[in-house]
């Protein structure tokens, strides 16, 4: 009966209730006319299961009570059989009806609770995703915007000199334009990540990308009194990744390295960026001369919204991990091997495939 009802969910509930009434009457008649040894009343459990599927708990409880009353009446009206056997069967039938109703109502309550929990989870997830997206954009765009302000101030100083240093001012303006474009690219890439789009991979020179980011970071490095040492391996194979993603990862790591060396003596503030080939991968590393990572920091290093900085958002390294993994690489941190203290971040990047292999591997071209 249940299968038939599911096939025809458009049936009016009144018709379903009428059919259940007919079935209950048939069960009552069968239970009354047969011997005490036949526990036909147990078939009322099927009525309860149908009621649980189609009606409210109040109706289910009412039907359960009616089924129990009919079972008692049937026992009293049964004309033949062993009375003791009939009594036992009646008790078993009533217990089966009551337990079926109880479990059925519990199941419906659990389903409703699960549905409500899923609904709440979806709302929380949507809110969290929106919050993370907003925070990510704010965090990532803050870097080029801060660089624009720094370059703008430098440009004003160069122009205020007597005579104005137009060459230096022009360089500052170039940095402003570059950072403005980088902010636009960052927003576009984060929006793409939020929509679940694959990175726009392309073949590019990793060393050139590192040098470009180093030039864009010059003003901030100078402001903080940090030296930048580039140790770039010559004749590297082209990288195959989203260039903006890799540069943004590098920008985050450079900023983290500067923050890590705030308590380091000025003469020792140095960031070392290296590139090297490792099989069919390229490895980019960023090493600082700070205090290093505590055991707690290692545990939560790439967790969203976890930070040791008083004014930090805890998103930089989390975004770095997502960008690295989205491009088929990975990121991890180690202690420096020269025993000077500090942390080294390593990022792997795929080498560009041969021209004839790019279409067959299904990778997107930027």
Alpha-carbon span 94 to 189, nearest angstrom: 65
Alpha-carbon span 62 to 68, nearest angstrom: 10
Most confident of 185-194, 294-303, 311-320: 294-303
Alpha-carbon span 153 to 26, nearest angstrom: 92
Alpha-carbon span 170 to 150, nearest angstrom: 14
pLDDT in the model for residue 56: 86
7 vs 212, higher pLDDT: 212
Q: Do 270 and 226 meet the contact criterion of CB atoms below 8 Å apart?
A: yes
> Helix-strand-coil percent breakdown of the chain, rounded to 5?
65, 10, 25
The yes-or-no verdict on residue 178 having pLDDT over 70 is yes
Q: What is the pLDDT of residues 32-81, one digit of tens each?
A: 888 888 888 888 888 888 888 888 888 889 989 999 999 899 888 888 88
What tokens appear for 225 in the block? 């009194």
Alpha-carbon span 63 to 57, nearest angstrom: 10
Q: What's the number of CA atoms in the CB half-sphere (13 Å) around residue 27?
A: 24
pTM of the entire predicted model: 0.49
Relative to beta strand 270-278, strand 227-232 is parallel
Alpha-carbon span 92 to 85, nearest angstrom: 11
Flag the least confident range among 82-86, 234-238, 316-320: 316-320
With a CB cutoff of 8 Å and minimum separation 6, the contacts of 165 are 158, 159
Fold of 204-357: Heat Shock Protein 90 (3.30.565)
pLDDT in the model for residue 134: 53
The yes-or-no verdict on residue 203 having pLDDT over 90 is yes
């993994």: which residue's tokens? 325
| Integer CA distances (angstroms), 124 to 118, 134, 265, 319, 322, in order | 10, 15, 45, 21, 21
């Amino acid at each position: 009966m249940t299968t038939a009802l599911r096939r025809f969910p458009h049936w009016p509930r009144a018709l379903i209730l009428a059919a259940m009434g007919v079935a209950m009457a048939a069960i009552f008649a069968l239970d009354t006319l047969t011997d005490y040894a036949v526990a036909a009343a147990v078939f009322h459990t099927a009525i309860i299961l149908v009621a649980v599927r189609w009606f409210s708990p109040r109706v289910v409880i009412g039907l359960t009570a009616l089924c129990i009353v009919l079972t008692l009446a049937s026992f009293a009206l049964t004309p033949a059989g062993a009375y003791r056997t009939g009594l036992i069967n009646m008790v078993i039938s009533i217990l089966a009806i009551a337990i079926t109703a109880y479990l059925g109502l519990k199941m419906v309550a659990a389903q409703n609770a699960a549905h409500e929990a899923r609904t709440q989870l979806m709302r929380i997830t949507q809110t969290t995703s929106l919050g993370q997206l907003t925070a990510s954009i704010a965090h990532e765009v803050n870097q080029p915007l801060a660089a624009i302000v720094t370059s703008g101030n430098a440009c004003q100083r160069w122009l205020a000199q007597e005579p104005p240093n137009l060459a230096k001012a022009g360089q500052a303006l170039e940095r402003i334009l570059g950072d403005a474009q980088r902010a636009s690219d960052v927003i576009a890439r984060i929006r793409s990540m939020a929509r679940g789009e694959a990175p726009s991979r392309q073949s590019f020179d990793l060393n050139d990308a590192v040098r470009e980011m180093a030039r864009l970071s010059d003003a901030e490095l100078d402001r903080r009194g940090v030296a930048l040492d580039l140790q770039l391996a010559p004749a590297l194979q082209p990288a195959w990744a989203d260039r903006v993603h890799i540069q943004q990862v590098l920008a985050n790591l450079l900023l983290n390295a500067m923050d890590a060396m705030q308590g380091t003596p000025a003469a020792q503030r140095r960031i070392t960026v290296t590139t090297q080939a490792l099989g069919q991968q390229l490895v980019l590393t960023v090493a600082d001369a700070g205090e290093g990572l505590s055991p707690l920091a290692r545990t939560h290093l790439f967790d969203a919204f976890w930070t040791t900085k008083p004014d930090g958002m805890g998103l930089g390294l989390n975004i770095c991990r997502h960008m690295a993994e989205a491009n088929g690489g990975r990121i991890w941190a180690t202690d420096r091997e020269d025993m000077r203290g500090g942390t080294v971040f390593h990022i792997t990047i795929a080498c560009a495939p041969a021209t004839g292999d790019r279409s067959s591997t299904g990778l997107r071209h930027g």
